[in-house]
Each structure stands twice: as structure tokens, then as C-alpha cells.
Chain A
Amino acid sequence: MMTNTNQRLTQGQFSFLPDLTDAQITKQLQYALRQGWAVGIEYTDDPHPRNTYWEMFGNPMFDLRDPAGILLEINNCRKTFASHYVRVTAFDATRGVESPKMSYLVNRPANEPGFGLVRQEVDGRNIRYTIHSYATDKGEGERY
């Protein structure tokens, strides 16, 4: 059975849909800004589901009124890290901490090998399962 359907990473919102167009991203950003959320852009080449903290591309953008500025940064990030995963996260500060309220991918590598299941035998015949990203077998910068 194929576990990596369509060879696509499915993390965050909209990940089972076709990639969002810039116009659609703008709409989503507009929604986030209307809610008063700050938006940050992050990238990684190690998309393990437990890898929560991706690298930030610039600072999170506070006090913005219009999505055009964020889209500009997204495109900068896409240009700089063309074959990385890039995601947009909207943070809500109402509870005193910047908690993510939205998160979706805006860029993905052309070829996504996905994850493999690793079985580790421990304590006799017990088996521990973990998943492993094929891409991380290679060194940083050569993964995608």
C-alpha cells in the first residue's frame, strides 16, 4: 500500500488540495490579518512531522495591514529556498503567547520521496516503529 499518496507531503492546512495560487494565498493572508494575527514565514528541508520548529525566514511580521508585504517575503523565500518546504504560519497573541492559528505550505520541492517506516527490534521480539524521511539520508543542502 502506498502511504505517501501522490508523493506529496500532507502537513498543515489545505495540504490535500492542489497548491494554492498567489491569489488564494493572498486571501488567506487577508483573513489572518483581519483577525489581527502576525504572520511568519518558515522553511525547512527536514519535514519530519515531529520537526515542529522550522527555520524562520526573517522576523514574524507584526502590525501589517495588507497581504502584499507578506506575499513579497513569501516570493523572496521561494526564490532563496526554491527546493525547500516553505510554510506560512499565523500567530494569535490574544492569550499572551504567540500561538499558531493557521499554518499551510506555500512551496514544496519538485520531488518528494516521503517517509519510510523503520522497524526496530528491542527486548526480544518486541518491535518499535518510527518513520524516517528518505530525504534526510543525504546531507543538508542536497536533500531535495
Chain B
Amino acid sequence: MNAEANTSCAEAMSDLALLYRESGIAEVFEKLDRELVGLAPVKSRIREIAALLLVDKARRAVGLAASAPSLHMSFTGNPGTGKTTVAMRMADILHRLGYTRSNHVIAVTRDDLVGQYIGHTAPKTKEVLKKAMGGVLFIDEAYYLYRPENERDYGQESIEILLQVMENQRDDLVVILAGYKNRMETFFRSNPGMASRVAHHIDFPDYSEAELLEIARLIAAQTDYRFDEAGLAAMRDYIAHRLAQPHFANARSIRNALDRARLRQAQRLFMNADKQSAPDKEALMTITAGDIRASRVFRGGLDGERKQESS
């Protein structure tokens, strides 16, 4: 009896392993790990969700009760923490597990959903919903849909249509709402209907300094650039300085910093062009300490001058 149960258990396990291999989500996880630095809690939540969906699929295969899971999600976190990128990967995972028919993501904001006059909102929202059918609808800064200060705001109409489709066409569409954590919480508090239909809340933590440096290296490597030793140290200093300044947008700030460093590197190579022979491949690829240390971040950023005066 016990042995029998064990064999059927082993069969189920192998089935699960087979399902896992067949779905090819291992590939997506690998890509997720390779392309996204840090975000450990997010990655583990995604793995949990994927595991649940996989097990649901296996349960259905052997005839056990498996309710159609609600897949709508909310991604909260500061800007530049990878919400959009993770949404794309999520669409991949859902597609590979067979929960969506396509892996496309339609990213929209309030402007794409809410109209400007009476009767404009419904067709506009429906058009976006139709475009997103079969895939994932990613609503960035979703809390802007709800404007409590204006009771005649058309955002409410849009939310109602959204809710209706989220409920009735769960097989056709997965909605991901994204935005700052505290504002999303207010949004969900004032729209209980929305809160109850979103099953998975994933919070994106800010990156640590070490992770940001790793991100900088990764972005540079993707565009065939690299730091020399002093350059890397300068980048580390840069991150430490930048973190203390306002409007820090995590990975996005790092990418912008690198873009500016590339500008300075190009300028440096160009200015030296007549003094020395043509730069070799190494020189074209390398970002040095000087390219980074020229940034105004080291002089206190935008309002550095004012600070210097007061101190």
C-alpha cells in the first residue's frame, strides 16, 4: 500500500519535472537571473507563482480540482527597480505555461485609458483592452486612474471597465498594475474591488550599492564597454555620491550616468585624436576614471552650489 503510494508519488514528481522541462520556463528563469541583478524577493515570488501554476497544470492533468487561478498582479517599487522588465519576463513565463496565448505586453498609462470628454473613455479603454487580449496589460502608475479630488473624473469609468474585463475574461487577459508602493496602497484602499481581484502583490526593493555597481558593469558589457580598474572605483564612488542625492531612480540613473560617461569618453578620444594615432579597440571600449569623475554628481549634484554656499 505504502509502496504503491510512493510509486504514484514518484510518477507525479517525474510528471512535474517533465512539465517543467517542456514548458521551457527554466530558460526564462535563467534569463531573469542573468539580466536582473539582485531583486531576490521578486525572483523568489515569481518562482513561487510559476511553481503554483505548474502544479495547477499537473493537477488538472490527473483530474484533480484546479480552479482557474487569478493571475492579476501588482508590482510596487521605486522607479528604476525593474518593474517593466519583470513584467515582460512574467508574460514570457505565463505564455510558456499556457496561461496566456501570446507573450506580448501592452504598456499603458492613464493617458491611454482615460478619455477627455464624456463618452470618450469607454471606447478608449476597450480598445486598449482589445489590443492586450491574449497577453499582458501593464498599467504603469495605475494610481493616477483614480483621482479622489475630482468626483467627475473619467478615471473611475475606466476602472469599472477594467474590473469587468479582469473578472469576466480572466482567460484572455492578465493585468499588471505598477507604481510607487505607498500610492498603490492608497489606490487599492480606495478601490476595494480592484484590491480583491489582484492576487499577487510583489514589492520591488531598492538596489544596494554593490548591486548597482554590478548593474553598471552589466549595462556596460551589453553595449561592449568596460571599466578599467580606476574607472570601476570611480563608478563605486559615483554610486555612493548619487545615492545621497535626490531623484535617484536606481538602475535608470545608472544607465543615464553611463550614457553621459560614454559621451565624455567619446569627447576625450576625439580631443586626443590629432595628438596621437587612431585609438585601438581597447581604447574605444574602455571607460576610465576621468570619464566618470567629471560628473557633476561629485560636486554635489544639481543643487551642489547652493549647499556649498550654506556650509
Contacts and interface: CB of A to CB of B under 8 A. Distances in A.
Contacts of B299: none
Interface string B111-150: 0000000000001000101110111000000000000000
B98 to A, nearest CB: 14
A66 B101 contact: yes
B129 A65 contact: no
A112 interface: no
Contacts of B131: 63-65, 69
Interface string A50-67: 000000001101011111
B295 interface: no
A58 B133 contact: no
Contact of B102 (A61, A66, A72): A66
Interface residues of B, number: 14
Contacts of B101: 66, 68
Contacts of A92: none
A38 B224 CA distance: 41
A63 B129 CA distance: 12
A72 B101 CA distance: 16
The residue in A66, A72, A73 that gathers the most chain B C-beta atoms within 10 A of its C-beta is: A66
B167 to A, nearest CB: 14
A70 interface: yes
Contacts of A73: 130
Interface string B165-178: 00001001100000
A103 B71 CA distance: 35
B104 interface: yes
Contact of B129 (A58, A59, A67, A69): A69
A70 to B, nearest CB: 7
A63 B130 CA distance: 9
A52 B172 CA distance: 33
A68 B123 contact: no
Interface in A60-98: 61, 63-70, 72-73
B102 A65 contact: yes
Nearest to B173: A68
B123 A66 contact: no
A68 B169 contact: yes
Given A66-B133, A68-B169, A69-B131, 4 more contacts: A64-B130, A64-B133, A65-B102, A68-B134
Closest 7 CB pairs of A and B: A66-B134, A69-B130, A68-B172, A69-B133, A68-B133, A66-B133, A65-B104
